[in-house]
Amino acid sequence: MFLLVALSSFLQNAGTATWGGILASSALFLILAIINQVYLFRKKISVPLIYISVTVELSLIFITKYVMHFDERVGYGMTIKEPATFTVYFLFIIMSALRYNKKLNIYMGIFSIASYSLLLVLAVTDGGMHFTPDVTKMFDKDTIRLASEIPKIIFLGAFVFFVTKMADFTSGNMKRIEDAERTSNANFVELKSVLASVEQTAQELLNQSNELSVSSNNIDTVLSEHGELMAEVGTIAKEFTASIEEIRSKSNFQYRTVEDNFMKIKEISDLMEKINSDSSSQTQKADNALRLANMNEQNINRTIAAITDMKENSKKIEEISKTISEIADKTNLLSLNAAIESARAGEHGRGFAVVADEISKLAIMSIDSSKEIATIIKNTVDNIENSSVMIGTLAQNLGHIISFVKENSTFMTNLSVKTLNELNETKILFSSSVDVDQAAKDVLELAGRQTEFVQKIQNWFNNMSQLGGAVSDSLRDLQSLSLRLKERSAEMKSILERT
């Protein structure tokens, strides 16, 4: 623009000082513009360069208006009163305001007012102009109206003030916009991070849902195997109960047999006492003694038969005791398998593990009880064998007694002595029979306790079966929840992918 003014002045034959000054100012302004473009290209902002640029711009207006007075056709009068260059003040003020620097705008306003006021002073002091209040002389070359110039200066200052306020307001808004942009960028970055985290969480949730579904299927399989195992255990428990009932029945029979033998031995003892009394009191009753001996022989034969039965029954009880021990071993093995299955079931199998442990303890108690029964039965068999030997000896002695009574009545004296010995042995046998009776009672009592234990085991397994059903229902709910969770995770992931 200033180059055009310089060219126009040259073509209109203005003085060299006029168009040369304008041209030099334009060249300086062009150099300054190039320097500013270099800084802008490098994206650098230099505050001193900005102040220098503003100073040069305003100085360019001052110089342009100043050199115009060298043209005699214009002089200071038209230089001051010419409105176009004065309007350039406002153009540069607006350009400076776009930098949104309050201090810079104030500086530019002061510089603009000062430079224009300096022109007025030069016009009066150097140009020979004077002030006039006459409005008709407003366009004379040598007159200046303060009523016109002072409002121009005031308007220039007011415009600078208004532009400064607007620039300050706009600068504040821009700072708020920049803060909002930084906040928005930070929120956007954080939102991206949150979305990435949500996406990762959704993926992990989906993976965990799949794992939960697989685990649920595995647990379902374990529960199915648990149900089959419980059914098998129930069958074994029923068989075990039947075996215990059979043992109880045979133990009861053994007890009755022992009671009968006890009564018979007691009868033998009483009879031996009577024989001893009869033999020692009178020998003339040899016939009665012979008759009694015959009766004793028959009783002994029956006793031998009863003892033989006792021996056979004891062997059967011993076999049953072995069977109990085998069942207890199987129960212990079953409890071990149950403990392994409960360990596979994890947290849901903890109660099952406690029950399996109790079953193992009961199995051990059963084994111990079976061993005790076997020991008692062995002792009983030994006592019965001893009794059998004794009774066999008694039978032989009675045979000799009968022979002795038949051959010689004087044998009654010896018979009395022998019957006394037999009486003592019978007392020993009676004492042994008391022990056998007590052992039979113990076996019967243990069989009853074993039955109670088996009943408890059955109750425990029933509770475990119910617990397995409850766990199965919970597992179905968990599978349903896992399916819903998987669907929600897939929906969340789909939403995030669309986002």
CB burial of 90-122 (b: ≥16 within 10 Å; e: otherwise) equals eebbeebbebbbeebbebbbebbbebbeebbeb
pLDDT for 285 equals 64
Q: 94 with 233, same domain?
A: no
CA 297 to CA 271: how far, in whole Å?
A: 12
pLDDT for 387 equals 67
- Show the tokens assigned to 323: 């069977």
CA distances from 281 to 148, 276, 278 (A): 182, 8, 5
Q: 358 with 466, same domain?
A: yes
pLDDT for 3 equals 59
pLDDT tens digits along 307-356: 777 767 767 776 777 777 777 677 777 767 767 776 777 666 666 666 66
Q: 95 with 228, same domain?
A: no
Q: How confident is the model at residue 56 (pLDDT cuts 50, 70, 90)?
A: confident
Q: Tell me if 75 is assigned to some domain.
A: yes
Q: How confident is the model at residue 42 (pLDDT cuts 50, 70, 90)?
A: confident
How much of the chain, in percent, has pLDDT values that exceed 70? 43
For the cut 70, the answer to whether the pLDDT of residue 219 exceeds it is no
Task: Name the most confidently modeled range: 55-59, 253-257, 401-405.
Answer: 55-59
95 against 289, higher pLDDT: 95
Q: 124 with 268, same domain?
A: no
Q: Tell me if 288 is assigned to some domain.
A: yes
Helix ranges, 282-349 (H): 286-345
Q: Tell me if 466 is assigned to some domain.
A: yes
Residue written as token pair 């800084």:
39
Q: Tell me if 199 is assigned to some domain.
A: no
Q: Tell me if 195 is assigned to some domain.
A: no
Query: Other CB atoms closer than 10 Å to residue 200's CB: what's the count?
Result: 11
pLDDT for 183 equals 80
Of 53-62, 125-134, 184-193, 345-354, the range with the lowest mean pLDDT is 345-354
Q: Tell me if 188 is assigned to some domain.
A: no
Q: 126 with 249, same domain?
A: no
Whether the Cβ atoms of residue 209 and residue 482 lie closer than 8 Å to each other: yes
CA 251 to CA 305: how far, in whole Å?
A: 19
pLDDT for 436 equals 60
pLDDT for 363 equals 67
CA 208 to CA 487: how far, in whole Å?
A: 12
**Domain finish residue from 144, 175, 207:** 144
Whether the Cβ atoms of residue 318 and residue 377 lie closer than 8 Å to each other: yes
Residue 436 CA to its chain's centroid (Å): 63
pLDDT tens digits along 252-282: 666 577 567 667 667 766 766 776 676 666 5
For the cut 70, the answer to whether the pLDDT of residue 15 exceeds it is no
- Show the tokens assigned to 200: 């990762």
| Residue 31 structural domain | 2-144
Q: 101 with 242, same domain?
A: no
Q: Tell me if 89 is assigned to some domain.
A: yes
pLDDT for 177 equals 75
pLDDT for 434 equals 64
Q: 249 with 371, same domain?
A: yes
CA 383 to CA 369: how far, in whole Å?
A: 21
pLDDT for 65 equals 72
Please choose, from the candidates 353, 348, 351, the residue with its C-alpha nearest in 3D space to the C-alpha of residue 474.
Answer: 348
pLDDT for 229 equals 64
CA 119 to CA 125: how far, in whole Å?
A: 10
Which DSSP symbol is given to 283?
Answer: S
Residue 188 CA to its chain's centroid (Å): 32
**Domain finish residue from 114, 144, 174:** 144
Q: What is the mean pLDDT of the chain?
A: 69
Q: 337 with 462, same domain?
A: yes
**Domain finish residue from 89, 113, 144:** 144
Whether the Cβ atoms of residue 365 and residue 453 lie closer than 8 Å to each other: yes
Instruction: Tell me how many domains the chain contains.
Output: 2
Q: 274 with 133, same domain?
A: no
Q: 256 with 387, same domain?
A: yes
pLDDT for 139 equals 66
CATH of the domain at 369: 1.10.287
Please choose, from the candidates 91, 88, 113, 100, the residue with its C-alpha nearest in 3D space to the C-alpha of residue 50.
Answer: 100
pLDDT tens digits along 420-457: 676 677 667 667 666 666 766 776 676 666 667 667 76
Q: 306 with 421, same domain?
A: yes
pLDDT tens digits along 451-494: 676 677 667 667 666 666 666 666 666 667 667 766 766 666 67
Q: Tell me if 455 is assigned to some domain.
A: yes
pLDDT for 109 equals 80
Mean pLDDT of 385-397: 70
Q: 234 with 353, same domain?
A: yes
pTM of structure:
0.34
